[in-house]
Amino acid sequence: MILKTICLGLALSFALTAQGEEATAVDEAAPKARLPLEELRIFAEAFDRISKAYVEEVDDKTLLENAIRGLLDQLDPHSAFLDADAFEDLQESTTGNYGGLGIEIGTEAGVIKVVSPIDDTPAAKAGILSGDLIIEIGGQSIRSIGVNEAVAIMRGEPGSTVTLSVVREGEPNPIEVTLTREVINIASVRQRLLEPHFGYVRVAQFQADTGTEVRDAIDALSSSTPLHGLVIDLRNNPGGVLQAAVALSDLFIKEGIIVYTEGRLENAAATFRATESVVIDGVPIIVLVNEGSASASEIVAGALQDHQRALVMGTRTFGKGSVQTILQLTSDKAIKLTTALYFTPNGRSIQAEGIIPDLWVDRSTVTKLKSNPFRLQERDLPGHLNAPSNDAAEPGSAQDPAEVVGNDYQLNQALTLLKGLHILAEKP
């Protein structure tokens, strides 16, 4: 009853304050909004009854934290209350070193939806896919234990195992997958040459230094061979630090807007512009995306697409076009609140729409057919004429790109297109 009285007293105090502010500002055009006094009384009454009548005793601190969670859970899938453990986990994820399975998740209809598995983690190795719905963990229903508890279970002791029950589109029955937890060390950026002169940069997640790491990766590739084309792979990249996405985009855009945000708070409206410092100016770029490319990945793809600096290839992206701000409540607790929407340079909102690729290429498996050993060519015919001597330069080696990029059909297509663009550019 004491707590109920305190809640009612606070409600009345806030209401009187709001009314007092209106009384001193009657000459303003728009009246001040009043706090919902009746609803605050109902909240205090409900709190008091739950505290007294629930079948098991629940301390007031837990009830109040659950009330805050309820406020945020009903807003959107990305706003959340961060208790001490969740706040620590968030800080670890932005530095790229934590224990767990390596899954970037969201929520959908009370279960966990996989945004994307992170490269070289237990989830990726076990075949977890973007779009999978996790309905059970260790035999416990997600709806019964709650998403927060489910996340805590997935982030258990390294070396231990956990079994997930996964619903996948196109599969009639749930799939059970057993994973071994590991300490997740996320390598934000990796690079290699697909073929001589054609580079590949993989960005797994946007961390604080990702922009600098990408610049270093391109410098390393360029130092070994002149680049004729570059693939930036953002597939299954769940996003991360907004400033890192801006820094990466700025490497390839000379001027203009990279991304801008709009929100109700004054500091939620911001515009990020390119500087004049660019790398590999004029070299063709292909950005690979899929349904697991979200948030910061979509900022990069949208910026390079709008500025016509790169061709976007793959499938439609995840469609997370909102900005979350961490608002710290105490030294170890905070709320993650959606405060703005972001827009591409041409004013496109990506929220729930995603980035539509310039070239739609589905994830596929291609099997090379064996050639017919009995098919003859001119050179096989008896008495065939030999070709006259040709002093012109021989064309480059027709290396099979499948040998370079394995069974990755989308990457195969990106490499083929880059080689074609280079050949056309070289022709007189």
Q: Please, what's the b/e burial string for 340-370 (b: 16 or more CB within 10 A of its CB; e: otherwise)? A: bbbbbbeebebbeebbebeeebeeeeeeeee
Cα–Cα distance for residue pair 350/84, rounded to 1 Å: 32
The answer to whether 306 is a known catalytic residue is yes
Q: Is 320 a catalytic residue?
A: yes
Q: Which of 320, 336, 408, 419 is catalytic?
A: 320
Choose, from 306, 322, 408, 419, the residue flagged as catalytic: 306
**What is the maximum alpha-carbon separation in the chain?**
108
How does strand 229-233 pair with strand 285-289?
A: parallel
Give residue 393's Cα distance to chain centre: 46
Active-site annotation holder among 116, 165, 295, 297 = 295
Q: From CA 143, how far away is CA 7, in angstroms rounded?
A: 31
Other Cβ atoms closer than 10 A to 334? 20
| 295 belongs to the catalytic site | yes
Contacts of range 330-335, beta carbons closer than 8 Å, 24 or more positions apart: 332/83, 332/84, 332/87, 332/88, 333/81, 333/82, 333/83, 333/84, 333/87, 334/82, 334/87, 335/68, 335/72, 335/79, 335/80, 335/81, 335/82
Check if the beta carbon of residue 5 is closer than 8 Å to that of residue 48. Answer: no
* 228: number of Cβ within 10 Å: 20
* Catalytic sites, residue numbers: 295, 306, 320
